[in-house]
Chain A
């Protein structure tokens, strides 16, 4: 069987692909920023030994980590309107990604904090720091440094997971690939191109985030922090 490949019919739709890349990056950027920050906040609350809030966050984290992303997305887009909350496809996508990422980042950050040596915390307290100051200056920097690679990996996973947002008509990269494929029936080429773009996005993003971590956020920190 001979297979004729025609990548040109896919490449010539580059404006569509570019829009897709822009949306994928935009969705990922917003959800990475908000999701990591809220994960930070939730991890802090969980570490305070406050019974009720801690339990609620635990339920939230388990609920999100044990249900498929696409179901969460469909619930927000198709389900919430019945309760009177109507969000656009794009807002639903961002919201779903933020909710998803912050559940995972809560657990990732918490694991980093819990690995902090008790002596370090006691040293902070003995210097007269308040609990919040201890968290901010003593616990958090080395904890974040420790879990940064895991956080970066999770952000990449969320970026790749954004591919299902096309299902609710958000015009991200896989939506573009699907649209091109349904126009010219070049499924193989369209998805090869999409896969190559996702791959390069993931590699570039990982490199940038690792650099960002090393040179800006944790400048001067070492593994022993």
Chain B
């Protein structure tokens, strides 16, 4: 069979160019839509929400392999009130903010704490659940102040609030070992690779319950930081709408119910 190469190429070039144009125009239009997330959500009736799957009891994978937890139920609640189907996107601690920055998700409901660094790049709604981070360690180790951490190894999840806050609070002689996600941080402590672990209270509670042989206990409070919902910078319409949902859910007792169900404690004061 005789194939005319020149003709073949001539035929292929427009096709390639056309597909390129198609891809580029997709990019452009999706970005135009992304400028107003609320419109897109209401139009498509779907909302993409980032949730943790390695952070019990906020977000974890149950025996049925489905994500569950406080953050997951909060996501469902928001979706229901906005009249949109929720698409859950599992994220880890270090990539929560980038997912929002690149608009891969509309909201981050992932035990997100508020701090100045994060406020520069994303916006926050009101708080929806209580939370605090602390240093945990064995009873045999005497840790009374942050200065006692000198010379000790502490695992923390890179980019998490406990990482950034502990880096500020701990003396330079403390060795903070940073891991990619919460499960590795905990695993390093359980395996005895580090002496102490800096993490969220509820995660630590779950770890202590599952590993009573470790004799781990609360050592130092790093920060009392309730969970907020993250919204991409400038998505004010969506942020205002979600705030309305949170305020209504707080009044209706939904937030209290979630907190009691998953954390066995009251929501307490939730800052706006």
A interface list, Cβ under 8 A from B:
1, 77-78, 81-82, 86, 88-89, 166-169, 175, 178-179, 181-185, 187
Contact = CB atoms under 8 A, between A and B. Distances in A.
A78 B191 contact: yes
B90 interface: no
A77 B179 contact: no
B40 to A, nearest CB: 15
A185 B98 contact: yes
Contacts of B94: 178, 181-182
B195 to A, nearest CB: 12
A168 B192 CA distance: 13
6 contacts: A78-B191, A78-B193, A86-B193, A169-B179, A178-B158, A182-B94
Contacts of B180: 166-167, 178
B31 interface: yes
Contacts of A82: 191
Identify whether the interface residues of B are mostly helix, strand, loop, or mixed. helix
Nearest to A1: B31
Identify whether the interface residues of A are mostly helix, strand, loop, or mixed. helix
B206 interface: no
Contacts of B101: 185
Contact of A89 (B97, B98, B121, B193): B193
B188 A78 contact: yes
Contact of B191 (A86, A166, A187): A86
Most B C-beta atoms less than 10 A away, residue of A1, A77, A82: A1
B223 interface: no
Interface string B155-176: 1001100011000000000000
A86 B97 CA distance: 34
A129 B101 CA distance: 69
Contact of B187 (A78, A175, A178): A78
B177 interface: yes
B179 A167 contact: yes
Nearest to A88: B193
A183 B117 contact: yes
Contacts of B155: 169
B120 to A, nearest CB: 8
A179 B117 CA distance: 14
Most B C-beta atoms less than 10 A away, residue of A89, A175, A182, A184: A182
A192 to B, nearest CB: 14
B178 A169 contact: yes
A72 B177 CA distance: 20
B205 interface: no
B191 A182 contact: no
A183 B164 contact: yes
A167 B98 CA distance: 19
B178 A179 contact: yes
B158 A168 contact: no
Contacts of A169: 155, 177-179, 188
B158 A182 contact: yes
Given A1-B31, A175-B178, A182-B158, A187 B98 contact: yes
A170 to B, nearest CB: 9
Nearest to B180: A167
A167 B120 CA distance: 27
Contacts of B31: 1
Contacts of A185: 97-98, 101, 117-118, 120-121
A88 B158 CA distance: 18
Contact of A81 (B121, B163, B193): B193
A166 B158 CA distance: 11
